[in-house]
Amino acid sequence: MQIQPADVLEAKKCLPCEGGVEACSLNHAQEQASLLVGWGLIGDGKWIRRSIRFKNFVRAIEALNKIAELAETEAHHPDLHLTGYRILSIEITTHAIGGLSENDFILAAKIDSLLSASFPDAKNNE
């Protein structure tokens, strides 16, 4: 996988992954994550994470539900955590390979696009 800008990733579709591919190297993951708004590495570089603060609880739940619909469409599911009643944290990895794959960055780019279009008042929390 090569380093790609967010608009290129967003145009792609997540592909089924049942293993058999290598996870991204730490350097590759750092470079790719740096091209996405608000995303950073966690878990020794095996996950990407973004945390967003919404105006209120209802807006946070609306975002959570829209991200869930997107995840179903892509057949790639993030971990979603709502804390402090309006802070949504999104964590993504490819469980089948124990690290990051192109699918993770595709989903992150699509989530960014969804958030900017539907929730322009949301702010990065970190």
Confidence of residue 15 (pLDDT cuts 50, 70, 90): confident
At 75 the pLDDT is 94
Q: Region of 12 please: left (phi>0), alpha (psi -120 to 50) or beta.
A: beta
In total, the chain counts a number of residues equal to 126
Yes or no: say if 27 and 16 are a contact pair by the CB < 8 Å rule: no
Average pLDDT, the chain: 94
Q: Which CATH superfamily is domain 25-121 in?
A: Transcriptional coactivator/pterin dehydratase (3.30.1360.20)
How large is the average pLDDT for residues 121-125?
92
pLDDT tens for 60-115 read: 999 999 999 999 999 999 999 999 999 999 999 999 999 999 999 999 999 999 99
Q: What percent of the chain has pLDDT over 70?
A: 98
Res. 55: pLDDT tops 80: yes
Give the model's pLDDT for residue 31: 96
Q: Are 102 and 29 in contact (CB under 8 A)?
A: no
Chain CA centroid to CA 68, Å: 12
| Per-residue pLDDT at 125 exceeds 90 | no
Mean pLDDT on 25-36: 96
